[in-house]
Every structure is written in structure tokens, then in C-alpha cells.
Amino acid sequence: MVLNLIRRVGLAVALAGTLATAAVAPAQAAARPATRVSAPVIIQDVLVTIPGHPAVRAYLVRPGGHLRQHRHAGILFLHWLGQIHSDRTEFLAEAAELASQGAVSLLPEGKFPWQVAPAGKWRDVTYVEAQLFYFRHALTWLINRQYVDPGRVAVVGHDYGAMYGALLASSDHRVHAAVLATPDATWGHWFVKYWLGYTGQRAAHYEGLFDKAQPVDHVSRLGIHELFQWAGKDIYVGASVRRQFARHAPRARVDFYAGSDHQLTDAAMADRDAFLTRQLGLKG
């Protein structure tokens, strides 16, 4: 099924490994332009093993053929929690297009809060820390591929993926560029609003539990090598959040799509891919 899907968007794909997921972003893939893809790519369903911890399911997307040692940029894609493709398939078609330009991408599956709901207790802080731990090991797994150039590594995230991406890019100096699309400034805001329903002091106390790990406090390191993508019709992220990130990352590039909602559009995809092409030295 995956081979037929990719062919419909004009990609020549060789499948390696067993693709166990039944539906691989058909709506998203159909919406992506095919003209930018000319080279074969390989999509693998992999398990990122972490000693003593559960393995993380991910897609590895890379150029076809023989890959030379340390010659290919690496990209870690962290997906959103949304209405469609709220899993590792969100960026699959985009990663395939970038593979045709020489990039190697890893698309891991997120657990918290995608599959485990916030409980409104300190446990949620430890879950954020655990999820970041898993994503950092996914980044290590990607960089350890012998064909990935450790000097050309980027993180791309959307929504909750962007919030984790901010923490990862800030704390891990192996990350050289980042794209953060429509993140919230703090963890507690969405947890309270969409799961817990806390108000007043109870909400304030809960949100304060995350003070050392708020995404907005961890975006200054990369400077001009960081891109924020915002939407003018975003009902989840407003102007106040955008201003907070601007204060903490004044040198970052900012793209604003006045007519887009939180999901963003192909225009945002094209812009971030152009940004990654420049930052990572892809073929373009």
C-alpha cells in the first residue's frame, strides 16, 4: 500500500523492512507537489532500541542506493497532536521529498500526550521528561547511522512536537538548526484547557510544576539557525504566545501565514524545506 501511495505523488520508492502501519498519510501525501522529487528513496519501519526502556517505533527515510559515510544531513521530525495524521506519518511525504535532496530523516512516534493523557499531577512533568529522553535517544540513533553527517543535523517539530523540539534543540548541541511550527509557550496551558479543566490557583499551581521545562524558555541557543512558523487563523496559539517566543529568540527567523490555521499549509512546508536546504547544505 505504501509503495502505491508514494507512486501517486511521483516518488520512486524502494521499501526496506516491514511497513506495519496500515494508513500512511494518504491525504497529506496527495496534497504535496510531486515535481520536487526525482531520486529514489527508501522508507523503513524501524524500532529505536533504548536499553532498559521500551523501543520507539519510527520511520527512517533516506536516499536510495549506496550512501557514503558522513555525507548526508540528518533531520528528526516530531509530529503534532491534531485532527489528521496525529502520529509519525505527519511528515512522511515531506521527509521523502527531502531524501531526494540527500537528507536522512527519522520520524519517531510520540507517546505523551499523544497516547497518554495528562493526569494533572507531578507525574506529568516526569512524562514530559521521559518523552524528551526518548526523543533524544531517537536523535542519537539517527546520528549514529554511519552515513549521517553529525555536523549537519536539524530538528523539525509541529505543535507538541515543536515544544519538545525546542527543549531538544536547546539542550543538545548536536542540533545545528531547528524549525518550530505553532508551539505553545508552556506545557500546562493546553493540558489544563483541553484535558484537566483546572481553574484559579489549582491551574496556576499545576502550570508552575513545569517551570524548569517551559518551551518558551529554551529557544535562544540557535539564533539565526532557528525558524518559527505561525498561523494568523490559529485558534490554539495567539499573538501573546508569538510575542513570548520573539522575546526569548530575537534572532530567529519568523514566518507568518495570515490565512492559515494551526495545521499550516503547503506554503509553510515549502518555506521550511527551503530553510533546511540552506541550513543543512542539501542539493535543493
Report how far residue 11's alpha carbon sits from residue 1's, in angstroms, rounded to the nearest whole number.
14
Report how far residue 49's alpha carbon sits from residue 64's, in angstroms, rounded to the nearest whole number.
24
- The predicted model gives 11-37 an average pLDDT of 33
Report how far residue 218's alpha carbon sits from residue 5's, in angstroms, rounded to the nearest whole number.
38
- Please give the residue range of the domain that contains residue 50: 2-280
- The residue whose grid cell reads 511525504 is 93
pLDDT mean across residues, the chain: 89
Cell of 187: 506545557
Check residues 5 and 211 and name the one with the higher pLDDT.
211
Q: What is the pLDDT of residues 32-80, one digit of tens each?
A: 333 344 579 999 999 999 999 999 999 999 999 999 999 999 999 999 9
Q: Tell me how far CA of residue 190 lies from CA of 160, 163, 198, in angstroms.
A: 10, 12, 11
Strand order through the sheet with 41-50: 13-16, 41-50, 53-63, 104-108, 72-78, 148-158, 177-181, 226-231, 253-257
Whether residue 67 contacts residue 42, with contact meaning beta carbons closer than 8 Å, is answered with no
Partner residues linked to 53 by β-bridges: 50
pLDDT, residue 179, reads: 99
Start-to-end CA distance of the chain, whole Å, equals 29
pLDDT, residue 284, reads: 66
Report how far residue 55's alpha carbon sits from residue 46's, in angstroms, rounded to the nearest whole number.
10
- The residue whose grid cell reads 531524501 is 99
Report how far residue 18's alpha carbon sits from residue 47's, in angstroms, rounded to the nearest whole number.
11
Whether residue 178 contacts residue 227, with contact meaning beta carbons closer than 8 Å, is answered with yes
Q: What is the pLDDT of residues 80-125, one digit of tens each?
A: 999 889 999 999 999 999 999 999 999 999 999 999 999 999 999 9
Report how far residue 73's alpha carbon sits from residue 199's, in angstroms, rounded to the nearest whole number.
45
Three-class secondary structure assignment of 118-186: CCCCCHHHHHHHHHHHHHHHHHHHHHCCCCEEEEEEEEEEECHHHHHHHHHHHHCCCCCEEEEECCCCC
Taking the whole predicted model, whether its pTM rises above 0.75 is answered as: yes
Distance of CA 176 to the CA centre of its chain: 15
Give the SS3 label for residue 201: helix
Q: DSSP letters of 30-73?
A: HHS-STT--S-EEEEEEEEEETTEEEEEEEEEEESS---TT-EE
CATH number for the domain harbouring residue 156: 3.40.50.1820
Q: What is the pLDDT of residues 205-243, one digit of tens each?
A: 999 999 999 999 999 999 999 999 999 999 999 999 999
Percentages of the chain per state (helix, strand, coil), in multiples of 5: 40, 25, 40
How many domains does one find in the chain? 1
Report how far residue 9's alpha carbon sits from residue 7's, in angstroms, rounded to the nearest whole number.
5
